[in-house]
Amino acid sequence: MARSHAALETRKRVLVETKGLAQVTPDESYGKPSHLFGLWMAVNVEFATITTGAIATGVFGLSVLDAVLAIISANIVGCLLLGLFSTYGVHYGQPMMITCERWFGRFGNRVLSFLTFLNGFSWFAINTVIGSYFIEHALGVRLVASIAGLTVIQVVIAIIGHKFIIKAERLFFWFLSAVFAVLTVMTLLHISQLPAADPAKLAAVGGRSGAMLLTVSIMLSWLGGWILFSGDYSRYMRYQANRAAVKNRVFWNSSLGCFSSSTWLEVLGAIIGGTVALKTPADLFTPWLPTWFRAPLILAIVVGTISPNVLNIYSASLSALASGIRMKQWQAALLTGGVGVLIAMITYRNFYQNYELLLFFLGYVIFPRFPVMAIGHLRPRVSRFSSIDVTTIGFLAWLMGVVSSVPFWNQSPVFVGSFAAAFPQFGDISFFVGAAVAALVYLGATSASPLRALVADVSSS
């Protein structure tokens, strides 16, 4: 026992996390649910969130009031899902992609884990490009050099691991909240009248209803990646004294932290986006900002780029391991950063078009997973067919959800599905169609397990 305790203390002093995909043991648990509020606030208090909100007015042409309605609707749904899946880390004590093997099987989960790896390094690339645009605009540093510099910082923090990430995000939270609160006040004082709708832009996306539905989908896609990663940051709370109470607090701290920050910054982005000619993220760096505020804002942009990308790299590295890639966690983090920087170098031109396409594509393959993950967790299922395993059904339900959503894809000029082309006023509702079909297939091909208890956790196994 003494030797085991000594080994544990040695591991705690190790700088770089070595846990990888292994399940958290009781002795390794630490942290408070309240830490998750600061974490999910910090990862959304950044210019990428403002950039996302600006799409509603600056690209789709919505009025600010319509944009706010769409943003709030999307964030209520998305943040409740993030809260639910955050409790999985408490319940199972595993990275999310390992937990998902329960519902999608070994082969299916490897496929989905690789897609989650794609999601992670894609978001890493997007956030890095946004931060780099602002650094180039404000400091004159070449865009490629900014991308490379930000990448090194972000990968190092992700390699150090979970405990350092939680501590760093708490510091980021206070600094970023203060700077962006000042920016919000300045924006509201400068803009005396909220921007109105742009009829020409609305006409290009199916009118007001099409623009609002597209905005809802964009905002849900923004949250979709975080939802997939959410359990990775609550798994070290697995063995607290009252598990039900801890899960409840994890749910609300995660949901409210994410909702508060994403809604706040997306609405701010919608206000600014309706007042500028939006071609690159640097266009949001408004000329009326006072000189004294530019230095703290640039620092906030850099910190705000690092804050979410640390999570993207960390969770993407875990997803890479879950997909079957054989390497250590720190090596997977380096791989994520390396691929991400290549994507950033390729996509920084025509930013908003590439960004919009990425957001929708990630949503198409992410959202049909969620019904299977929720249904299978809340009540274990068994297959109605003796020849098909229940986990195979879970994977097929996801696949059928993705395929059935194709006619509803609205990705002009790359691809517009038959329904979206015929009814542009519906925008892009493929997320909802894919999730609904996946849920119906999964429920129809499975039945509730006669065992009423949820999957046993480690403490009772």
Per residue in 144-177, pLDDT tens?
Answer: 677 667 667 666 665 665 566 666 777 778 888 8
Residue 299 neighbours by CB under 8 Å, 6+ apart: 179
HEC sequence for 104-153 = HHHHHHHHHHHHHHHHHHHHHHHHHHHHHHHHHHHHCCCHHHHHHHHHHH
Averaged pLDDT score across all residues of the chain: 80
**Average pLDDT estimate for 204-215:** 91
| Separation of alpha carbons 235 and 230, rounded Å | 9
Residue-level pLDDT at 18: 54
| Separation of alpha carbons 396 and 411, rounded Å | 25
Distances in whole angstroms, Cα of residue 403 to Cα of each of 109, 122, 235, 371, 430: 18, 22, 32, 16, 10
Round the CA-based radius of gyration of the chain to a whole number and report it: 22
Residue-level pLDDT at 447: 92
Residue with tokens 């309605």: 69
pLDDT category, 346, cuts 50, 70, 90? Answer: low
Q: Which fold has domain 30-361?
A: Hydantoin permease (1.10.4160)
CATH 1.10.4160.10 boundaries in the chain:
30-361
Residue-level pLDDT at 12: 45
**Average pLDDT estimate for 397-426:** 91
Per residue in 63-101, pLDDT tens?
Answer: 999 999 999 999 999 999 999 999 998 888 888 888 899
Q: How many CB atoms lie within 10 A of CB 226?
A: 26
Is the pLDDT assigned to residue 184 strictly greater than 80? yes
Q: Which residues pair with 447 in a beta bridge?
A: 382
Token representation of residue 348: 């920084």
Burial class (CB in 10 A: 0-12, 13-18, 19+), 13: exposed
CB 187 within 8 A of CB 64: no
HEC sequence for 362-403 = HHHHHCCHHHHHHHHHHCCEEECCCCCCHHHHHHHHHHHHHH
Any idea which of 146-150, 159-163, 215-219, 360-364 has the lowest mean pLDDT?
159-163
| Separation of alpha carbons 155 and 316, rounded Å | 11
| Separation of alpha carbons 4 and 348, rounded Å | 50
| Separation of alpha carbons 296 and 164, rounded Å | 24
Angle between helices 291-322 and 47-54 (to 10 degrees): 90
pLDDT category, 17, cuts 50, 70, 90? Answer: low
Residue with tokens 């359990």: 231
Is the pLDDT assigned to residue 320 strictly greater than 60? yes
Residue-level pLDDT at 384: 93
CB-based contacts of 404-409 (< 8 A; 24+ apart in sequence): 404/433, 404/434, 404/437, 405/364, 405/368, 405/430, 405/431, 405/433, 405/434, 405/437, 406/430, 408/433, 409/360, 409/364
Token representation of residue 228: 């997939």
pTM of model > 0.85:
no
| Separation of alpha carbons 353 and 159, rounded Å | 32
